[in-house]
Amino acid sequence: MIFENFYIHADMIILKFICSITLALLLTVSTVRAAPKKSVISSLPGFVGTLPSKHYAGYMTIDGSPGEKNLFYYFIVSERNPSKDPVVLWLNGGPACSSFDGFIYEHGPFKFQAGKPKESLPTLHLNPFSWSKVSNIIYLDSPCGVGLSYSNNPKNYVTGDLQTASDTHTFLLKWFKLYPEFLSNPFYISGESYAGVYVPTLASEVVKGIQIGEKPLINFKVCFLHTPLTG
């Protein structure tokens, strides 16, 4: 099987890929204060050719005490009909599992083939079953301290489920202000594992915001879960 070596060396491959992509992203990503065009990802380590749709990445700064939290996202525009297809927020569980897990292992736009020699970076091939075939998808590293999300104050790495939901809701409000062209699209919240906690608590925050008329008004439609923790 072409990808069997990838699974054998999966942890090392992910580490190498994230390290390399981090260096690339540091040159291109922006905060909420910058225009989306400055967050465009035009190439990725290990992939040869033109990306199948627009990719963006950046940080949303969540203000608060103590200090700021900087939540990292990777956004892939739908390959089908971006103006009509749903916007999906994907959250991995753990807790403390990066959403790059879903990006790499599950429904991201690429399949990863182990590098040769095995110490080298993986080669990326297009995934014909990617969710980006039919949806605009946001991979979010949440809560603060997970994946590439960070704070300059280590106290922000101590959190709880309700605080995580509040921070992620703030992220969404800022994200839709930055990408207003997607505000009318149906919005879905999805995840797996401990996202069985993250998703419903976030959905509750989003619904409360809609009920009080919080702007921008998110067109929230549904949430769905894969192998969730529900206890």
User: What local confidence, expressed as pLDDT, does residue 8 receive?
Assistant: 42
Instruction: Report the 10 Å Cβ neighbour count for 211.
Output: 8
The rounded distance, in Å, linking the Cα atoms of 27 and 34 is: 14
- Closest to 72 in 3D by CA, of 150, 183, 162: 150
> Are 79 and 53 within 8 A, CB to CB?
yes
Asked whether the predicted pLDDT for residue 6 surpasses 50, the reply is: no
Average pLDDT for 139-161: 95
Condensed to tens digits (0 to 9), the pLDDT of residues 177-229 reads 999 999 999 999 999 999 999 999 999 999 999 999 999 999 999 999 988 88
CA pair distance 40, 93, nearest whole angstrom: 27
Per-residue pLDDT tens over the stretch 106-140:
999 999 998 888 778 899 999 999 999 999 999 99
Task: Provide the H-helix boundaries in 60-160.
Answer: 100-101
Check whether 27 has a pLDDT greater than 60: no
Is the model's pLDDT at 176 over the cut of 60? yes
| pTM for the structure as a whole | 0.87
Domain that includes residue 56, residue range: 4-228
**Does residue 148 have a pLDDT over 90?**
yes
CATH of the domain at 134: 3.40.50.1820
Q: Note the pLDDT of residue 4.
A: 39
Residue 39 has pLDDT above 50, yes or no: yes
23-27, 35-39, 89-93: lowest mean pLDDT where? 23-27
What pLDDT does residue 19 have?
59
Helix (H) or strand (E) holding 170: helix 161-178
Number of domains in the chain: 1
